Structure 1
Amino acid sequence: MDTRTVLPTKAIDQAERDDAGGTISVSDLVEQVWGFIRRQYLVFLIVTACAIGLGLVYLLTTPARYTAHAMMLIDSSKLRVLQQQQQQASFADTPLDTTQIETQVEVLKSDGLGLAVVKEKHLADDAEFAATGGRFWRTDDPAQSADSRESQALDALLRQRAISRVGRTYVLDIAFTSLNPARAAEIANAIAEAYIDDQLEAKYQATRRASKWLQDRIAELREQVSTVDRAVLDYKEKNKIVDIAVASSAGGANTSTRSLEEQQLGEITSQLSTARGTSTEAKARLDRIQEILKMDIPDASVVDSLKSEIVIRLRNQYLDLAAREGILSQRYGSDHQAAINVRAQMAQIRQSITDELRRIAEGTRSDYEIATAREQSLKNKLADMVSDARLTNRERIGLRELESNAQAIHTIYDAFLQRYMEAIQQQSFPITESRIISPATAPKQKSSPRTSVVLGLATVLGLVFSLAAAALREALDPVFRSTRQVRETLNVKCLAVVPQLDAPPRAHLPASWRRHFGGNAASPAPADPLLGRAVRDPSSLFASAFRAIKVAVDVGTAGEGSRVIGVISMLPDEGKSTIAGNFAELIAHVGKKVILIDGDLRNPTISRAMAAHATDGLFEVLAGEAELDDAVRVVRGFAFLPMIAESGRGNELLGSEALKLLVERLRETYDYIIIDLPPLGPVAEVRSTASLVDCYVQVIEWGRSRKNSVRQQLLGAPEIHERLLGVVLNKVDLREFGRHEGLDAADGQHGYY
């Protein structure tokens, strides 16, 4: 028979991936989160709805408030334009920086400024500002002084105002919140005006104090200036030191003082330099003329250098006669009388040139001697003046010290006098570095409570608290609700999920579950809902779960011949007897030989249901009081060995040798031997069946069995745990299970039933 099982293959594959790599895929994470939301969606809805409701109550009960904004600019450029350039470096006008802007913000936040606004606007008599402790003070209450009312109004004002800097600019935002929009704008502007008035008053007081101090200091400096100037004049008169004014520029606008000795030395030095140049020039000319005298006829360049018209004219005549003599000698011969006459004229001209050169040489020698004499005279005079200047310079050392001291005192006096004049001007110049660039106006819309913000915050808080509550509820849930919990807690597979017998018809199940399990609408329940359901309704979820158990048993015990299967549970009433009976009937229905043994001596539930009138059972067969063939009954197509409950009998038979021999005997006849064992929790003897059972199938009641209890019981019974084939979740609420398991119609392995 081709069947599909409801095995938790997805969970098992995920477990194998987690064990191998220690990671989880994004799709699995999304599935887990979605499963968590589906399980706890009521918590999310209820808590979030309550939070939104509280937000609505807050919006309905909180009075509307309005915030007005006044923009103020802090800028020193306005003051610098109206003052002189020199005043920009004064102590009253320093460049603004970030620290100064923050300082002005703190000034706006000060109590003194707020108290000025309270007094100006009479806020102590305003009911909005006099409210304290949930009630309003009466302004005519004698028990409350005016100072107390002003203090309360100041506290209310400081709470309702906000001062901030706009970005990285020099603009300050003065915000005030009030129940009345017009009142909010009025007080915001009042705070700005109070700040400007405070700055004007502070600057006036500071300038007045500075002016008085400067006036006293200037009087002292004036006396010091007079004293040092008198000391300089007395020293000059005593030491006969004379200074003269000397122009330091071409126009004579700037002058400086120099001593008389320095002036004379400069002039003598200049004259000596000129005399030396003249002497040197005359000597050079004399040497040059003497060299020319040694020549017969000087060349043209030499003649030109003398700059003498007579010599130049005579040389030109000489050259003309020489040319003429050459022509005559060539034409008539050198002995011709004409040539001889020309040569005689040339000799006279040569003699004239020589005489003229000698005359020039004598004149030059005379100039040279005069220049030399003047130079020597100036040298002697300079030496005398240098000697006198050395004596004067020693006396000037003390004069320089006096003049330096006088210059320093003069500089200080001028600086203080300039500051004093600036302070006098500022007293009559009422301007500050602050101005209102955008006065506050009455706002049109309320600033608080803002509906979108309150509802958004309420929704966020509701989601946060609902998430915390859902997570706490999820963490504190101690029972099994999914196949993943079975795998993670017990480290075994979940073989099948058995729904509750009184589950609703398929038409009422979610579409994803109908697609997952398939089949038609459920048939009407039989008279006996405990047994035979898996065979009577083969297309039901109940029947598919038992087919899954059979496939798991066949795969887990393949190749071993007859299979001995122990059905156990931790606690009574978890439905293991129902699972065992239906499992046996399903196996018999597919044509296998199966026997069901009721091994629960204390509470043989399945025996009461299937063989209520039996007189012989398992205990009688093991005790030799009855034959096996007589005790075995055929019920619903399979063999059944009941248990006859009697008081006083124990569970020692579970580990007895007789039971082992009986099981070996039954292996020869039956393909499947199913033993309905007592609960493992109250009956410890179940552990002794490990030697005769091939595998165990544990039944866990969904939503009832506690995870820690089952885990501790299995850890205390390693024999059972080693042979445990898997777990069957019984009595499962499919709707709730779907939210915990996270199954989806998109999963490719589902949708057959």
Structure 2
Amino acid sequence: MDNSPSIYVERPLQAHLPQHQQHGEEKDTIDLLKFWRVIWRAHWKIAWLVLLACALAMTILSFIPAQYIGSATLLIKEKTPPLLTFQQVTDSSSGTVDYLQTQLALLQSRDLAERAVKKLNLTTNPVTDPRQQPQSWFTPREWLANLDLGQWLPALDFLIPQQVTPTETDIFNEVTQNLMKRTDVKFVGKSQLLNIEVLLPDPDLAAATANAIAQGFIDSQFDNSLKSSQTNASWMNSRLVELRNNLRIAEDKLQAYREEQGLVDVGGVATISANELEMTGNRMIDARRNLAEAESRYRQVQALSNGDLSRLSSVPAVLSNALVQKFQAQQAKAQAKVEELSGRYGPKHPTLIAALAELRTATDSLRLQVRQVVASIEQDYQLAKASESSLHKSFNSNKTQIQDISRKEFQLRELQREVDSSRALYETFITRLKETAATSDMDSTKARIVDPAIVPLEPSKPRKTLIMVIVAIAAALIGMALALISEARNKTFKTDEAVESTLNIPLLSVVPLVTKRSRRQLARLFDDNEHPRFCETIRNLRTWLMLHGGEKPSQVVLVASTMADEGKSTIANNLAYSLALLERVLLIDADMRRSSLSLNFDFPADSPGLANVLAGTARLEDCIRTVGNLDMLPAGKLAPPPLDLLSSPCLAPLLEALKSRYQRIIIDSPPAQMVSDALLLAKHSDAVIYVIKAESTPVSQVQKCLAILQQSHAPVFGVVLNQVDLRKARKQGYSHSDTFQNYDYLTR
């Protein structure tokens, strides 16, 4: 069953605009979606390029030795005036920057580098000792020795530089210079923190070296402060005697006042009194709250003291008693029993009399218990009142005592402050004197280690992750650029959209690529029905052709192409087979230079054909061969040149005679680019089907051939995009017509 063809809609704007204007608009507009499609089609190639570049970068990085950074952080304090100065302290903010820059220069000095080299014995460490570094793969002397030219070495000494054994001093200087080159000191932002970084191949040694430089800087500050500490020691000793006498006088005054007032520990007594006052206050608050509650209960009971039992027992304070509730339940039970028996027996019945006695007993018990509860409420009220009064008196007594202690404490604090200030000044001088004596004035160092260097876990150079990311991004960009350049240079047809937008000619069908088939199998592919997709496209092309022309169908159909090997003959053969199922069809092989019809259908090599008929050397009936329902006219033997035969006046009468015998004539034309045979045959045709091989035929050549045909007023019917690799197109993101999608949906 034939599928109806997809409707082709021409683009009105492109159809009516001049060609140069269309190209101008396309050049002025950047189609980003087009670029993205090109990149997406090449995404697998780009991915492989990225992987290859990353693998190559990883291989190169594996040969580069890792470098580790040991980092220690120092805090440089601002320059402050000395403790014992009596000069006016002026604003030193202008010199702070210069001071910090000086400290930065000191950290980069050779003295600190030498301290670190000596402390860590870097002259003998395999990592830093130049004598233990790996040598080059070969030296000229070793190369000559391997050639058995040792006897000539003395004569060649002037050509080969002699190696001089370095002294210990040279090694020390070289290691120190290398350490200074590998040490970097910089400020952390705009703070007073300095970061010391040492770059070495050994992580442990890098951290130890950074800490050694930081500690060496602090040690140098200690050494510099030694002289100034010794200078101030003598003056501080004389001043210390005076301060000791002042402290002794203040302590004597304080002790005399304590003995006069009989004080032992004012602070402790005040604290105990304050705690007692707070506790008494809290207890008084609780006592007042209990008194209020007891008074409330007492007032309720007093208001109903002359009332009956039922009203008194309904008071919440009385009713909450468990025994009262129990006796009320017994009374209610006895009352219910009396009411029940009174309706059943007379007033003198023993059972009723017993029930009444039980009711009286329950009532008396309830009354007695209520009175006991009332008495208990009155007793609780009296106790709460007495407790509140006692606590109030105790609170006032504690408050008076605390006020008296506060007055004494004020005077004691005056004397204590004088003692403390004298002692503080005395102790300050004592501490200063000890620091000076021990040459350890901490304040004069002006620096301390904030963060000591720790052993780095990961190398700092080379930064493999960053390098791999950069390589991957660069490879991806290069891959994208190559894809765009390849797309720009590949001026062939890949999609049906490209055919329609470039040629502005209807696309009749998109024929899929058929692989693993011989030339003869391709010629009979529709008749054998071995490739459903291919057969569907041929049916689609047949439907287009049958609908073309309306009441006057296209009887003579020319199948042409730009170059050879585009599948033109395969399309013509299978189209003829498809039409032969519905009409009487003749297939003519007009490609007399590369005839294929005889080869595809195993006709004899010397069998006559179109060339013989036009030359008059054979009859038409002798040249026509029948294969199934299809009649075929081979190219025949080539005698005169094909162009002369096709230009002869015999071609038009021959086609007219064939039109009367066949409903459809399919002509397999020679390539349009190579010869002018297609142009001559197009003049005698009703429709020209132009075959283009996907991703092979250059766009410029197709445009040139179609322009020649259109200038000759050839009836170009439409274009067939042939040999489209659907799998490749799907992977690369190309989209084709909906014929295959609809067919896939119908055949699932």
Worse-superposed segment, 676-685 or 141-150: 141-150
Query: Which residue number corresponds to residue 86 of structure 1?
Result: 88
| SS of structure 1 residue aligned to 2:42 | helix
Map 1:320-339 onto structure 2 (within 5 A): none
Q: Against the structure 1 CA distance between its residues 14 and 27, is the aligned structure 2 distance closer, same or farther, given a 3 Å change threshold?
A: farther
Q: Against the structure 1 CA distance between its residues 704 and 430, is the aligned structure 2 distance closer, same or farther, given a 3 Å change threshold?
A: same
Whether 1:35 aligns to 2:21 is no
Q: Against the structure 1 CA distance between its residues 442 and 36, is the aligned structure 2 distance closer, same or farther, given a 3 Å change threshold?
A: closer
Matched letter for residue 436 of structure 1 = I
Matched letter for residue 498 of structure 1 = V
User: How big is each residue's C-alpha offset from its partner over 1:512-553, in whole Å with a ceiling of 9 and x where there is no partner?
Assistant: xxxxxxxxxxxxx89951333213318711111212323444
User: How big is each residue's C-alpha offset from its partner over 1:578-604, in whole Å with a ceiling of 9 and x where there is no partner?
Assistant: 211111111222x13433221111122
Query: Which residue number corresponds to residue 128 of structure 2?
Result: 129
Query: Which residue number corresponds to residue 674 of structure 2?
Result: 682
Matched letter for residue 73 of structure 1 = L
Bigger radius of gyration among the two = 1
Query: Which residue number corresponds to residue 67 of structure 1?
Result: 69
TM-score, structure 2 normalization: 0.54
- Matched-pair contact (CA < 8 Å) for 2:586–2:633: yes
Distance 1:498 1:168 in 2: 71
Query: Which residue number corresponds to residue 593 of structure 2?
Result: 602
Distance 2:49 2:480 in 1: 9
Q: Against the structure 1 CA distance between its residues 681 and 593, is the aligned structure 2 distance closer, same or farther, given a 3 Å change threshold?
A: same
Q: Against the structure 1 CA distance between its residues 462 and 11, is the aligned structure 2 distance closer, same or farther, given a 3 Å change threshold?
A: farther
- Matched-pair contact (CA < 8 Å) for 1:88–1:94: no
User: How big is each residue's C-alpha offset from its partner over 1:596-632, in whole Å with a ceiling of 9 and x where there is no partner?
Assistant: 2211111221144347247543233334455545544
Whether 1:660 aligns to 2:656 is no
Whether 1:3 aligns to 2:30 is no
Distance 2:442 2:659 in 1: 120
Q: 2:183 aligns with which of 161, 176, 184?
A: 161
Q: Against the structure 1 CA distance between its residues 527 and 121, is the aligned structure 2 distance closer, same or farther, given a 3 Å change threshold?
A: closer
Q: Against the structure 1 CA distance between its residues 46 and 615, is the aligned structure 2 distance closer, same or farther, given a 3 Å change threshold?
A: closer
Q: Against the structure 1 CA distance between its residues 750 and 446, is the aligned structure 2 distance closer, same or farther, given a 3 Å change threshold?
A: same
Q: Against the structure 1 CA distance between its residues 597 and 94, is the aligned structure 2 distance closer, same or farther, given a 3 Å change threshold?
A: same
Query: Which residue number corresponds to residue 698 of structure 1?
Result: 690
- Displacement, 1:677? 0.9
Matched letter for residue 3 of structure 1 = N
Query: Which residue number corresponds to residue 206 of structure 2?
Result: 184
Distance 1:157 1:724 in 2: 83
Query: Which residue number corresponds to residue 737 of structure 1?
Result: 729
Q: Against the structure 1 CA distance between its residues 735 and 185, is the aligned structure 2 distance closer, same or farther, given a 3 Å change threshold?
A: same
Query: Which residue number corresponds to residue 536 of structure 2?
Result: 544
User: How big is each residue's C-alpha offset from its partner over 1:419-477, in whole Å with a ceiling of 9 and x where there is no partner?
Assistant: xxxxxxxxx99836544322223345554556655655555455455545555555555
- Matched-pair contact (CA < 8 Å) for 1:71–1:436: yes
Q: Against the structure 1 CA distance between its residues 51 and 30, is the aligned structure 2 distance closer, same or farther, given a 3 Å change threshold?
A: closer
Matched letter for residue 128 of structure 2 = F
Provide the aligned length of Structure 1 versus Structure 2.
499
Q: Against the structure 1 CA distance between its residues 727 and 124, is the aligned structure 2 distance closer, same or farther, given a 3 Å change threshold?
A: farther
Distance 2:698 2:131 in 1: 57
- Displacement, 1:675? 1.4
Query: Which residue number corresponds to residue 571 of structure 2?
Result: 579
Query: Which residue number corresponds to residue 319 of structure 2?
Result: none
Q: Against the structure 1 CA distance between its residues 707 and 28, is the aligned structure 2 distance closer, same or farther, given a 3 Å change threshold?
A: closer
Distance 2:115 2:690 in 1: 84
Q: Against the structure 1 CA distance between its residues 129 and 679, is the aligned structure 2 distance closer, same or farther, given a 3 Å change threshold?
A: same
| SS of structure 1 residue aligned to 2:670 | coil
Worse-superposed segment, 56-65 or 678-687: 56-65
Distance 1:145 1:6 in 2: 92
Query: Which residue number corresponds to residue 378 of structure 2?
Result: none
- Matched-pair contact (CA < 8 Å) for 1:65–1:180: yes
Query: Which residue number corresponds to residue 557 of structure 2?
Result: 565
- Matched-pair contact (CA < 8 Å) for 1:611–1:642: no
| SS of structure 2 residue aligned to 1:751 | helix
Q: Against the structure 1 CA distance between its residues 719 and 660, is the aligned structure 2 distance closer, same or farther, given a 3 Å change threshold?
A: farther
TM-score, structure 1 normalization: 0.54
Query: Which residue number corresponds to residue 214 of structure 1?
Result: none
Distance 1:724 1:102 in 2: 86
- Matched-pair contact (CA < 8 Å) for 2:611–2:639: no
Q: Against the structure 1 CA distance between its residues 64 and 608, is the aligned structure 2 distance closer, same or farther, given a 3 Å change threshold?
A: closer
| SS of structure 2 residue aligned to 1:654 | helix
Query: Which residue number corresponds to residue 311 of structure 1?
Result: none
Query: Which residue number corresponds to residue 509 of structure 2?
Result: 496
Matched letter for residue 553 of structure 2 = G
Map 1:607-618 onto structure 2 (within 5 A): 607-610=598-601, 612-613=603-604, 615-618=607-610
- Displacement, 1:701? 3.6
Q: Against the structure 1 CA distance between its residues 569 and 123, is the aligned structure 2 distance closer, same or farther, given a 3 Å change threshold?
A: same
User: How big is each residue's C-alpha offset from its partner over 1:647-677, in whole Å with a ceiling of 9 and x where there is no partner?
Assistant: 4433233344432344455445544332111
Map 1:60-459 onto structure 2 (within 5 A): 61-76=63-78, 86-89=88-91, 94=94, 96=96, 108=107, 117=116, 123-131=122-130, 135=134, 142-144=164-166, 149=171, 152-154=174-176, 156-158=178-180, 160-193=182-215, 431=444, 434-448=447-461, 453=466, 456=469, 459=472
User: How big is each residue's C-alpha offset from its partner over 1:702-725, in whole Å with a ceiling of 9 and x where there is no partner?
Assistant: 454445554555566654797544
| SS of structure 2 residue aligned to 1:441 | coil
Q: Against the structure 1 CA distance between its residues 635 and 127, is the aligned structure 2 distance closer, same or farther, given a 3 Å change threshold?
A: same
Distance 1:654 1:80 in 2: 117
Unmatched segments (≥5 aa) in structure 1: 206-427, 504-524
- Matched-pair contact (CA < 8 Å) for 2:589–2:595: yes
Distance 2:485 2:204 in 1: 50
User: How big is each residue's C-alpha offset from its partner over 1:481-518, in whole Å with a ceiling of 9 and x where there is no partner?
Assistant: 44455456655554333334435xxxxxxxxxxxxxxx
Matched letter for residue 449 of structure 2 = I
Map 1:607-646 onto structure 2 (within 5 A): 607-610=598-601, 612-613=603-604, 615-629=607-621, 631-646=623-638
Distance 1:711 1:100 in 2: 80
- Displacement, 1:695? 3.6
- Displacement, 1:31? 5.4
Matched letter for residue 578 of structure 1 = T
Whether 1:728 aligns to 2:734 is no
Q: Against the structure 1 CA distance between its residues 531 and 175, is the aligned structure 2 distance closer, same or farther, given a 3 Å change threshold?
A: same
- Matched-pair contact (CA < 8 Å) for 1:130–1:136: no
Distance 1:669 1:84 in 2: 133
Matched letter for residue 193 of structure 2 = V
Distance 2:477 2:570 in 1: 44
Matched letter for residue 451 of structure 2 = S
CA RMSD between the two structures? 5.0
Unmatched segments (≥5 aa) in structure 2: 16-21, 137-162, 228-440
Q: Against the structure 1 CA distance between its residues 631 and 60, is the aligned structure 2 distance closer, same or farther, given a 3 Å change threshold?
A: closer
Q: Against the structure 1 CA distance between its residues 64 and 676, is the aligned structure 2 distance closer, same or farther, given a 3 Å change threshold?
A: same
Query: Which residue number corresponds to residue 341 of structure 1?
Result: none
Whether 1:592 aligns to 2:594 is no
